[in-house]
Structure 1
Amino acid sequence: MDVPLELAFHNLEASEAVEARVRERVAKLEKMFPRLVACRVVVEAPHKQHQKGNIFRVRIEMSVPGDDLVVSKEPNHAHERFADPDVYAVLKDAFETAERMLRDYKGK
């Protein structure tokens, strides 16, 4: 992977498994869009606990020539109690959105 990746965990322990999944997905983004300059991913768990566990938020910032593209996935507060407590599901959703965003950008 040639794209510089910055990965941060806020309010949760860093996980090698999550890091591996993020690296895998960033490599896929790079393959899809070779002009990707840099990528920053933040995985966050808010301080408050929920009945079903933590609600995870993922933010992906992608630098492309002349622009920055940002994906932010967090639960809608009205539906927060139904949000998926699985960090991998939230990562999958965020990276699928990032792929769509890059495809749209590429098509311009």
Structure 2
Amino acid sequence: MLNRFRLPMIAVHVPSLWVGGLTVFPWVFFKHAKPPAWLINHERIHLRQQVELGLFLFYVWYGLEFLVRWVQYGHHHQAYLNISFEREAYSNDKNLAYLKTRKAWRFWKYL
């Protein structure tokens, strides 16, 4: 059902941001004023994930999974790249039609 419409997104330019993009539904903070299409899509995937789980559960899960992955991989960047939410977003961010066909709770596939 969610794939039938585009979720609201309020884009905010934050030049001092330490990453390219950061999503806290419905806001998406971008480091650059004109982010590339793949990054916008990446953050839209996170918007969908946050709507499915709710913000609180999304960030609790995100944080706990990060800690588990950090222990697993021994490096914070490897841990970040292996969080299920990030794996889904990075695997599909270049496919700009992904959200039109994405099934609900698809991040489970990336656990």
TM, length-normalised to structure 1: 0.35
TM, length-normalised to structure 2: 0.35
Is the strand fraction higher in 1 or 2? Answer: 1
